[in-house]
Structure 1
Amino acid sequence: MLGGAGVLLGVAAAPAQAAEVSYATECIPPAAAGLDPVQGTTKVEVTAPATAKVGDEVEVVWKFVQAASKNPDLIDLPANSVQPSGTLKAAGAQSGDIAMQGPRENPAIAKGGAMVLSDMKGKLKLTTPGEVTLTPDAYAINVMSTDTKCSPKETVKSAATINVTAGDGGSPPASPDPTEGTSPPPTSGEPSPSESESGSAGGGGGSDTGGSGGGGGQTDFTGKEVAIPYACKTPIGDKNATSPVQINAKKDGGSYDLTVQFKGSVMDSPADIPADSVKPSMEVVLGGADKGKVHVEGPTNSEAIKSGDPMEIPDLTGTYKPGADGKSTLSPGVLTVKALGTTTTCTPTKSAVSLTLDTAAQEGGAAGGSAGGAGVSGSGAGGSGGGLADTGADDGGMLKALGLVAGTAVLLGGAVFTFMPRRHASRKAP
């Protein structure tokens, strides 16, 4: 038994040590945020074995005692939506970069609350006897597919030292790889939907009548898919994006049940999204014989959406009561998304007709200006139909599901939590 214990003691590294360092930090928000760099202070505690021997692969832990700033008073961050990654510098007997990464684990963080970042871990294979120092370097924080990048603005003190012995005989490789055994560099998330470039509208302008119908006893009418360029006003600035939209109608007496669909806009959720936290709506614009707007809206998400699960834009539904006889056109109008306590409003920069109907005026109908037809919310499983026109839209330019339904959270992305709004940029975080 004593012999066995001796073997175990010979293999195990010495107990871990922990030390805290504090350093001035500059954080750069995503380019789409349009915000200035922010100066703050980062406090880090690094844990590593006090002693080890050549050939050991040791684990080091980076703990955030304090992030560069608090969560601004813009949006509540959902649980498990924040993931840190960074670099720890090894120097002394051997040098190299140790890739560090933490899990996407955090409690819900309220507006103005302190940022809580998970512990980052990495591994280092020891190749040379002597003292190896470990110093925190740059790090990035990913929130819902966008990165905020932070780097030291002063010389950082080492946070831990490992005394490496030569071990039991043997010698280190002639040309050691100082980074061998480190974890692979973390990869950033997919580009934020807020960074989608604006595209041109499909289906042309007012001369395009889109899908049409209304006579001969027909009750179901399928609109044409049109690419609508949106200019969006968000809590952190102006954004542009293009989305394919289709308006369908089902005749019900003298009125029409409308269904507005966002085509090809499905993606995986980059974070856990709470139930009943996002709700989209739109004002469909009437033209041709009729005038006014029709309010349509979608349901809030009835269940929480787990990170990595598919996320779809719900159909927007409402009732259109015609106010004029003749050919009336329907075009996508202003889109509003309420998400996590904030509002994003997207206005088309170019109109395009998706559907034309042969209408007959109804008492109290839409003609004359103000919104016609009461908005009706619902799950809206409206039919899609076939024979859609080719609008030329592509995946790279469309306003995707998360940029639309959970748009506010994604548009804010990494800009939300690592720095304060512009008016606080010159102040250090508490």
Structure 2
Amino acid sequence: MGATGVALMLTGAGLLLAAPPATAAEVSYKTECIPPPISGLPAVQGTTKVNVTAPATAKVGDEVEVVWKTVEAASKNPDVLNLDKDTVKPTGTIKVGGAGAGSGELKMEGPRQNPPIPKNSPMVLPEMKGKLKLTKAGDVTLTPGAYTINVSKPMSTDTKCTPKEEPKASATIKVTDGGGSGGTTSGGGTSSNGGTSSTGGTTTTGGTTSTGGTTTTGGSDSGGSDTGGGSTTGGGGDGKTDFPGKEAAVEYACKSPGPASIKTKITVNAKKNGGSYDLTVVTAKGVMNSPAALPAGALKPSLQLTLGGADKGSVGVTGTGNKDPLEQGKPVDLPDMTGTYKPGASGKATLAPSTLTIDVSLGGQKIGIPCTVKGTAPVSLELDTAAQPGGASGSGSGSGSGSGSGGSTSSSGAAGGDLAETGSSADGALRALALVAGTVILLGGAVFTFTPWRRLRGTR
């Protein structure tokens, strides 16, 4: 069989073309990159330089290989952490257009392959590749777009980057007729990185509206707006020991590196135990998205309950760590939180949700993410109480959400006094996240900050 016959068979089978690659045009475009939430860093602006190559000519029905080469990343690796060999993996999308193409997106993916990248040195990204099946004659243009950089160590984190201006096409394929109709379609190249190949399509995070839509998992539509009242114990002489509360719809504002806000329904339940009450606090499902990939036991919630009515002060409840490992960006169900309420006054006492704290523990370091109530939280439970020695009232606890009572030692709105202080700035959060015994533990999230380190520090 002659060489021409072999070439025709290969083309008919839809295999990759061996045609000479098109001359790539280097394109630059302004980019906004969002570091992972756990890093505590703000979004930063930079410029991305890319070369896209593909065969210069092809026929309808051919499948061609497209290559994305990052010529220059938007900034150097910050002067914080040395990146190990083969820890960086990029994914991205290329916009497919042109007179003969229609429109579409091609997913691109690179290997986890890089040389060691020292601190304060250029970011080196491997090439990304994808396969494109051509289904219509005409000129097909290839334009680079959004991309994501995953760093696997010391923990898996993603930095997501999207264009802030319309990039120019970097390559063009001249497709000759051969039958077929429709536009160009992606022949594969799907990302194995959890769908992070496109930050423009954040629906790949599996429902990021979970933080704002957790009321759908609270188990009732009927109690959504009627959260002002709580369950009443009665006269206390009926032998009743279990006192279920009502769902209280609460919205929280959280500090970095946590989510900006959390909406959830919280229910406070009590069981009488002598003169005190054993409390169990339940939140709705999918309260927040995990700020990073976390091992089992690394994320632990605690909550302050504000006392009202006859009693004053607050009571702390805590939950256990997550039972299973958590994926970055996936919804998190907080475990039930428990504690003990010892009344400090006789009469009708109310309990309402207050400050929520999410503790993240890694490498022996604990990071506290405080979340404060927006407005006033509704009462979830009302109890007929009898004052007990050493009870809440007069125990030195404040009446707000920032202090503990009944033995709670929290000084920042969380049960437990050993939380790392995150402060109001991202710089404080970064220090809490980054330094443990002189070693950076959690800077995977700050690997691609797209701005010189000293400039970040100076701005703050």
TM-score by length of 2: 0.60
Question: C-alpha separation between the residues in 2 aligned to 1:308 and 1:287?
Answer: 37
Distance verdict in 2 for CA 1:182–1:105, change over 3 Å: closer
Partner of 2:429: none
2:271 aligned with 1:250, yes or no? yes
SS in 1 for 2:54: strand
| Rounded Cα–Cα distance in structure 2 between residues aligned with 1:338 and 1:104 | 34
1:42 has 2:48 as partner: yes
Superposed, 1:275-290 pairs within 5 Å as 275-290=296-311
Identity %: 39
Aligned to 1:138: 145
Instruction: Give the structure 2 partner of residue 24 of structure 1.
Output: 29
Match in the other structure for 1:14: 18
Identify if the C-alpha distance between structure 1 residues 71 and 366 changes in structure 2 by more than 3 Å, giving closer, same or farther.
Answer: farther
Is 1:352 the counterpart of 2:378? The answer is yes
The within-5 A match list for 1:14-413 is 14=18, 17=21, 21-27=26-32, 38-49=44-55, 52-64=58-70, 67-68=73-74, 84-91=91-98, 94=100, 96-102=102-108, 119=128, 121-125=130-134, 127-128=136-137, 134-139=141-146, 141=148, 149-152=162-165, 156=168, 158=170, 160=171, 162=173, 171-173=177-179, 177-179=182-184, 187-189=201-203, 190-193=207-210, 202-203=225-226, 208-213=229-234, 214-230=236-252, 232-235=253-256, 239-265=260-286, 272-306=293-327, 311-339=332-360, 341=367, 343-368=369-394, 369-370=396-397, 371-374=404-407
Instruction: Give the CA deviation at 1:221.
Output: 1.5
Q: Post-superposition shift, 1:242?
A: 3.4
* Aligned counterpart, 1:405: none
In the aligned structure 2, how far is the partner of 1:17 from the partner of 1:274?
Answer: 45
Q: Distance in 2 between matches of 1:115 and 1:261?
A: 46
Structure 2's unaligned 5+ residue stretches are 81-86, 151-156, 191-196, 216-222, 362-366, 398-403, 410-432, 434-444
Q: Specify the code of the residue in structure 1 equivalent to 2:240.
A: Q
d(CA) in 2 for partners of 1:82 and 1:283? 41
Q: 1:85 to 1:302 in 2, by over 3 A?
A: same
Contact 2:285 2:333 in 1 (8 A): no
Alpha-carbon RMSD: 5.3
Is this contact kept in 1: 2:303–2:317, CA < 8 A? yes
The number of residues matched between the two structures is 363
Q: Are residues 106 and 203 of structure 1, via their aligned partners in 2, closer, same or farther at CA, if it must alter by over 3 Å?
A: farther
Take 2:451 and 2:360, find their aligned partners in 1: how far apart are those partners? 20
- Contact 1:210–1:353 (Cα < 8 Å) also in 2: no
Q: Which amino acid aligns with 2:247?
A: E
Q: Per the alignment, do residues 416 and 146 of structure 1 end up closer, same or farther by CA in structure 2, a change over 3 Å counting? A: same
Q: 2:218 maps to which residue? A: none
Structure 1 residues 415 and 57, CA gap change in structure 2 (3 angstroms): same
Aligned-pair CA distance for 1:58: 2.1
* TM-score normalised to structure 1 length: 0.63
1:165-194, CA deviations, whole angstroms, 9 ceiling, x for partnerless residues?
x5xxxx545x95443567799754134456
Moved more, 50-59 or 236-245: 236-245
